Each structure stands twice: as structure tokens, then as C-alpha cells.
Amino acid sequence: MTTDGSGPPETPEEAAASGTVAARFALKQRAGGLVVPVLTALIAFLIGGLVVAATGHNPLLAYRDIFNGAGLNWIFHPTTNIASTSAYNLSQTLLQTTTLILCGLAVAFAFRCGMFNIGGQGQYLIGLYVANWLGYDFARMSPVPHILIAIGGATIAGAAWAGIAGFLKATVGAHEVISTIMLNWIAIWMGEWLFGDGGPLQNAANKAVPISNDVAASAQLPAFWGVQQLQALDVGFFVAIAALIVFWLILNRTTLGYEVRAVGFSPEAAAYGGISVRKNLIRAMAISGAFAGLAGALDMLGYLYHFGVSDIPVSSVGFLGIAVALLGRNTAAGTALGALLFGALLFGTTHGLSSNVIQPELAGNLTYMIQGLVVLFVGADVLILYIWNTRRKLRPRAKQATT
């Protein structure tokens, strides 16, 4: 319904360059891209706070405790001394953030190719399993090749696991949401089998417990902040930061990224442009899975070292990646911020809460609720923009005439 010749310039680059009223308005529309996530998070915290208040706890104190528990109060008195509680807490939050960045990218990359990868959890678990296996075997290796093999193997395994969904989508049109959900559960049960009674990866020393072997010292990632025995922040953090940059570069500066985005926006137009849609669906899904598999590897080699049957149902970082990516609008920078937010929630709710304010069990479930609310509201930016725009109704509607 656009009339001839009046299409407004819509990219921020151009808007900034031209500086007309229309351009500034367009820039504001784009800025909705920032408003929506921030408002979404605020609403989620608000509703979560209401539940907390309704059940007789003080939400402000609870959030303050979570904030401090996550070590975010570190910015008020920054120190690298890990003996400081806030510094330690922050290092742990960043450890969670590392995983969530990669799990978020696993969702975001597929999203940019028009697919919803709900299977991050399965791909992450597969990464964990393979990293544990490769990290335990080859124990005589020197650290660098051992770590590379373990990380590489886990990443490829994650890619292959997600690639199944991509392949099914590309060849027979199976919906990736359904197939990744199924692959999640297959991965979960695979873990029960691998580490369970008589499973191939079960602890060799103690056959009574359904737990894996410990990763050999040669495959453990070096810590850079903190003491390894107390669960330190390892160099995997930098790998995740690098992954963010790689993600951005692939999408915006390579022909592969061009193809992925073209297929994501319009498969038919992409095919017409000479791009193989099938190849890109498989490839994008595999790259997504690689991010999740890498997350599993970094967790296993960075601080977990072993994994048990009872850990499987508790783990949910792959699912959290969905909230991270959606809140971050499937961009690199957004994913980083989303990962930090949820990393803080994840660690802050398990730790350092005074029980007269809120019990950790309640706070942990509060995280799930906030996660659910975030995903719910992100999906409905119509509503968020409506809330944002009601603000404007206070002003005279003179601007209407310009359209």
C-alpha cells in the first residue's frame, strides 16, 4: 500500500547520513529494536516480582540479593582478587555467560536462515558427551592437541547432530522444530545410556554410580581468573567472545552469510538468485549445532570435567539459549547482553541468597518464570511497542498530518 516514490529510507546508516525528519523517525523505529528487548526484560522482571511479592517475599530485596549473588555489585568495587566475594561471583556468572553466548548463537544462526533451532539442548549434550569421551581417552597426549581434539570432536558432533534436522528439512521438508525436539530427547536418553549402569562412558573405577569418568588433566582448559579447584573462569570465555565475532563476520562479511540471510528472508528469491536453499539449510543448521557443541565442550573441559545421569534433567542451558537469542534479536551484540543477563540470573539465584529474603529453590524457579516471560513477550513485540507508544498518546497528534 505504499504510494509511488515515497518509500522511506529505512536503514540506520542512511538515516544517519540524510538526517531528514523521516530519516530520524525511521531511526527511532529501528531503535524499537533496542526498546523492545529492554522493555521485555523489564516487564518480565516486574511480573516475576509481583509473584514474589504475592507469596510474601520482598521482590526488591530478592532482586538485590540475586544482583549481588551474581557478582554484579563487583562494578562498585572492581578487583581482580578472587578472594573477594563479588569478584568470585562475577567469575562464576561469566562462566555461565560463556555457555549461554554459544547456546544463544546456536539459536540465532539458524534463525537467520529462517529456522527455529529448539534443539540447542540436545546439541549441547552431544558436545558434552563427546568432549568427555575424547577428554578421557588420549590421556597421554600433550595438552594443546588434546584440547583441540576434544573441542574439535565435540563441535563436529554438535554440528552433525543438528545437521540431521537440517538434512531432514532440506530433503524431505520435515519441520525442524519437531525434529530438533525429538533429537533433544534422543540425546537425553543417549546420556542415560552412556553414563548409566554398564554404559560405555560410565566411570571405570566405580561401577555403582551412573557418572562419567573425569576428563584427563591434559584436556582441561587453563583457568585465567580464579582457582581451578574452586571452579575458575577458564579461557573458554575468550572462545565465546571470539565466536560472537565470527558469527557477525560470517553473516555480514561473507558470501556464506549473504546466502544464509537470503534463504532466511526468502528461500524462493534465494533459489532464483542461484543459491542452493538445501545446501544452506543443512549448513546453517550444522553451524548452529557447532556453536552448541562447542558450548558443551567448553563446559566439560572448562569446569565440569564429568557428567552423570542425574545431571541430565537438571541441565537447561540449551533451552535458555532460546531466550538469550530471542531477547538479543538474533544479533551478536544482543546475544552477548542476553547471555550476561541470564548468566547472572542462573548463578545469582543459586548463591548467596539470605533465606529470610528468598530461598534459592524459589529464586531458581523465578529464573524459569522470567525466562518464560521474556520469550513470551519477545514473541509479541506488537504488545511491547503498544505499551511503548501509549506514552506518545499524551502528546498532541500533530505529527499524523505528515503521513
Partner 1 sequence: MTGTAARFDNPVSARLRNPATSGYTGLALGAVAAFLGIPPVQTRTVTWPVVVGVVAVVFGIWTVTRGRRRLGFGAVATGLAGIGLGILATRSGIGNLNAVFNPSLIAQTFAFSTPLVFGAIAGMFSERSGVVNIGLEGMMLMGAFWGVYGADKGGTWVVGLLVGMGAGGLLALVYAYFAIHLRADQIVGGTAVNFLALGITGYFFFQLYNGNYVSQGVSTIPNVRIPWIADLHFLGPAIGDLNLMVWLSFVLVVASYIVVFKTPIGLRIRACGEHPRAADTVGINVYAVRYGAVVLSGLLAAAGGVYLSDGFGGGTFTDNMTEGRGFIALAAMIFGNWRPAGAFAAAVLFGFSSAVALRLQVYSASASTLFNVLPYVLTLIAVAGVIGRTVPPAADGKPYSKQ
Partner 2 sequence: MTQELVLEMRGIRKEFPGVVANDGVDLDVRRGEVHALLGENGAGKSTLMNILYGLYRHDAGEILLNGRPVEFASARDAIQAGIGMVHQHFMLIPVMTVAENIVLGVEPRNRLLLDERTAERRVRELSERFALAVDPAALVGEITVGQEQRVEILKALYRGADILILDEPTAVLTPQEARELFAIIRSLQADGKSIIFISHKLNEVLEIADRITVLRRGKKIETVPSSGATEASLARAMVGREVLLQVEKAPAQPGDVLLSVGDLHVRDERGIPKVRGVSFDVRAGEIVGIAGVDGNGQTELIEAITGLRKIESGSITVAGRELREASARAMLDAGVGHIPEDRQRRGLVLEFSIAENIALHDYAKPPNAKWGWLFPARLVARAAGLIREFDVRGGGPLTRAGGLSGGNQQKVVVAREISRDPRVLIAAQPTRGLDVGAIEYLHRRIIMERDQGRAVLLVSLELEEILSLSDRILVIYEGEIAGEHTGEVSEQQIGLEMLGGRERPAA
Q: Are 125 and 161 in contact (CB under 8 A)?
A: no
3-state secondary structure string, 133-201?
A: HHHHCCCCCCHHHHHHHHHHHHHHHHHHHHHHHHHHHHHHCCCHHHHHHHHHHHHHHHHHHHHCCCCCC
Q: Does 274 sit near partner 1 (CB under 8 A)?
A: no
| Candidate residues 27, 181, 256, 271; the one interacting with partner 1 per rule CB under 8 A | 181
Sign for the CA dihedral angle at 265, 269, 273, 274 comes to positive
Cα-Cα end-to-end distance for the chain: 13
Identity of the residue, 146 or 329, whose beta carbon is nearer to partner 1 in the bound complex: 329
| Candidate residues 24, 175, 279, 399; the one interacting with partner 1 per rule CB under 8 A | 175
| Nearest-approach distance from CB 179 to partner 1, in angstroms | 6
Strand partners, 202: 212
Backbone angles phi, psi at 209, to 5 degrees: -110, 140
CA angle 57, 58, 62 (to 5 degrees): 95
Q: Does 383 sit near partner 1 (CB under 8 A)?
A: yes
Identity of the residue, 368 or 388, whose beta carbon is nearer to partner 1 in the bound complex: 368
| Candidate residues 75, 83, 144, 172; the one interacting with partner 1 per rule CB under 8 A | 172
How many beta carbons lie within 10 A of that of residue 349, not counting itself? 26
- Binding part of the chain for partner 1, among 76-84, 138-146, 215-223, 361-369 by CB under 8 A, reads 361-369
362 binds, among partner 1, partner 2, none (CB under 5 to 8 A by kind): partner 1
Q: Does 172 sit near partner 2 (CB under 8 A)?
A: no
211 binds, among partner 1, partner 2, none (CB under 5 to 8 A by kind): none
Identity of the residue, 158 or 321, whose beta carbon is nearer to partner 1 in the bound complex: 321
- Binding part of the chain for partner 2, among 134-142, 159-167, 253-261, 391-399 by CB under 8 A, reads 253-261
| Candidate residues 198, 206, 208, 395; the one interacting with partner 1 per rule CB under 8 A | 198
Torsion of CA 114, 116, 122, 124, to 10 degrees: 60
Please give the residue ranges that form the binding site for partner 2 (CB under 8 A): 1-11, 13-14, 252-259, 261-262, 265-266, 268-274, 276, 403
